[in-house]
Amino acid sequence: MARIDRRISENFSGITRRHILQIGAPILGLGLADLLRLQSHAADAGHPARNKSLIVFWTDGGLSQQDTYDVKPGAPAEYRLAQAIGTRVPGVILGEQLPEQARVMDRLAVVRSVHHENGIHAPSAHWMQTGYFGPTLARNAAQKPSLGSVIARSLGSRQPPMPAYVTIPKSEAFGYQGAVYLGKAFNPFEVGADPNAADFKVPNLSLPGGLSAGSVASRKTLLKSFDTLRRDIDESGVMEGLDTFKSQALEMVAGDQMRAAFDLTVEDPQLRDQYGRHRYGQSALLARRLVEAGARCVNINTGNWDHHNDIAKGLETHLPPLDRAIAALIEDLTTRGMLDDVLVYCVGEFGRTPRMNGHAGRDHWSDCFSVMLAGGGIRGGQCVGASEKWGGCVQEGLVTPLDLLATVYHTLGVPLDTHFEDASGRPVSIVGGGKPIRELL
C-alpha cells in the first residue's frame, strides 16, 4: 500500500493529484469500485432478485454424518460412536452432541442422501462448492466459480456498499470459494480476523497510514476536490474520473455503514453469550449482522473436521460450538422475523466412513452423507432421502452436488437457466442437470 503523505490536511483542502493517485490504489483501486460497478450491471441485466440471503457453515475436511445428522443406533459397535437423541420433531433423531439443533429441529431440514464419486479433499471441495468435479491431485486450481460468487454475480449486494459475498474469517485454500472466470470483482470479501477476538477488527476496512476516520468524514469535500481534477486525470490516462461506484467504494472503506455492520460490541452481551463466546458463535452472529446490512452470501469457514484419528476427541472440540452457533442463529433469525429471508446451509466436501478405522477415527466417504438446511422459505422439520441400514450407500432419494446448488439458487431467486462464459468463451450452466430438491420447496 502506498505511503500516504502525512502533510495531507484533516479536511483534504490541500490535496493534490499526487495524493489522489496515492490513495487511489489502497482505497479506490482494490477492486471495490469494479466490484460495485459489475454488481450493479449484473442486477440491472438480470431478473428481479428475491430479498434473500445465504449463510453457509463450511465444515472443511468432512463432517461425520454418522455422529451428527444420520446416526445409526442399531448398528454394530464398530459403526457407533454417538448415541441418538430425540428432537422436537417426533421420529427424527440426531447425534447426542447436537442437543441445540434437536431443540430447533422443527425449522431444520436434513438431506441424508447426498452422493458424489470422489474421496479426495480438493476435488470433493470443488464439487460441493461449485457443483462440478474439477481439480485433481496434480492440478489443484479451481475450474468453476463457487456458489457464493455465482450468487454475487447474479444478484449483487442487497444494499451497497456492503459486499455481496463475504467469507469469515477468510477463504479456505481448498474450499474453492472464488469467482474464477466470473472475475475478481466477485471474489469474496475476506473478514480476515476472528470475530471472537477481544481486539476484533477488519483489516480490509482499515484506513491506510496517514488517514483517520475523522479526516475521511468530510469525503464530500474530497469528492468535490476529485471533480476539479477529473479532466487532468482523464487526460493523463492514469485514472478514470471519479464516478458513483468509486464514491461507493470510498464509502465502504470510510463510511459508517460498513463499520457498524462489523461492530459486534453493540450487540446485547446476553445474545452474544447465546451464540457462544467462541469463533463459531461470534462468526454466526457477525453473519447475521452482515446479511441484515445487505450481504447476499456469507460463508463461515469452521474448523477442520478431517478426523482420521481419535474422532471422539475431535468432535468434542468442534461439535458443541457448531451446534450452539447454528441453533442460536436459527432462533435469532426467527425472533427478528428474518428466517424466511435467510437460508442457512451446513455442508462439507463429503462425510466420513460409516465404520470406524483402526485409529478410532473415520476416513473419507462420499457415497452417502448429509447436509443441513434451514430457513429461506424451505420446509423444515423433516429428513429428506435415506441411507442404507448401516449408512454405507444411498437407499432412497439420491441427491447430487448440483441438486443442492440448484436448491440454493432457486431459493434465493437465481434463475436456473443462467449460463456464464468460461475462460474459453463457452457458456457453462450454473446447475447443469441439477434440479431443486422438491421436498424442501
The answer, yes or no, to whether residue 67 has pLDDT greater than 80, is yes
282 and 226 together in one domain: no
Q: What are the grid coordinates assigned to 336, written together? A: 427478528
Q: How far is CA 211 from the centre of its chain?
A: 31
For the beta carbon of residue 176, count every other beta carbon within 10 angstroms: 30
- pLDDT digits 0-9 by tens, 15-34: 444 443 344 434 444 445 55
Mean pLDDT across the stretch 314-342? Answer: 98
Decide if 43 is inside a domain.
Answer: no
Decide if 36 is inside a domain.
Answer: no
Mean pLDDT across the stretch 103-113? Answer: 98
- What pLDDT does 254 receive? 58
71 and 81 together in one domain: yes
Q: Which domain holds residue 218?
A: 1-30+209-261
367 and 226 together in one domain: no
- Per-residue buried b or exposed e for 347-371, using 16+ beta carbons within 10 Å of the residue's own CB: bbbbbbbbbbeeeebbbbbbbbbbb
Decide if 38 is inside a domain.
Answer: no
- What pLDDT does 350 receive? 98
Going by C-alpha positions, the residue among 432, 426, 413 that lies closest to residue 158 is 413
Decide if 256 is inside a domain.
Answer: yes
pLDDT band at 7 (very low <50, low <70, confident <90, very high): very low
- pLDDT digits 0-9 by tens, 258-316: 889 999 999 999 999 999 999 999 999 999 999 999 999 999 999 899 999 999 999 99
75 and 19 together in one domain: no
Q: What separation in angstroms does the CA of 326 have from each of 284, 323, 337, 393? A: 7, 5, 17, 27
Per the model's pLDDT, the better-predicted residue between 5 and 368 turns out to be 368
* Total domain count, the chain: 2
Decide if 42 is inside a domain.
Answer: no
284 and 183 together in one domain: yes
Tell me the pTM: 0.84
Q: What angle do CA 397, 386, 345 make, to 5 degrees?
A: 80
Cα Rg, the chain, nearest whole Å: 23
For the beta carbon of residue 77, count every other beta carbon within 10 angstroms: 7
Number of residues that make up the chain: 441
303 and 416 together in one domain: yes
- pLDDT digits 0-9 by tens, 79-103: 999 999 999 999 999 999 999 999 9
- pLDDT digits 0-9 by tens, 183-240: 999 999 999 999 999 999 898 676 655 555 565 555 555 555 555 544 444 444 333 4
Percent of the chain with pLDDT over 70: 77
Mean pLDDT across the stretch 322-329? Answer: 98
Asked if 68 contacts 97 with a C-beta cutoff of 8 angstroms, the reply is: yes
Please, how many CA atoms are within 13 Å of residue 301, restricted to the half-sphere of its CB? Answer: 24
Mean pLDDT across the stretch 228-253? Answer: 47
116 and 197 together in one domain: yes
Q: Give the CATH number of the domain where residue 346 resides.
A: 3.40.720
255 and 153 together in one domain: no
Decide if 37 is inside a domain.
Answer: no
The answer, yes or no, to whether residue 4 has pLDDT greater than 50, is no
- pLDDT digits 0-9 by tens, 126-177: 999 999 998 877 788 999 999 999 999 999 999 988 999 999 999 986 779 9
252 and 138 together in one domain: no
The answer, yes or no, to whether residue 430 has pLDDT greater than 90, is yes
314 and 270 together in one domain: yes
- pLDDT digits 0-9 by tens, 335-380: 999 999 999 999 999 999 999 999 999 999 999 999 999 999 999 9
Decide if 183 is inside a domain.
Answer: yes
Decide if 350 is inside a domain.
Answer: yes
384 and 421 together in one domain: yes
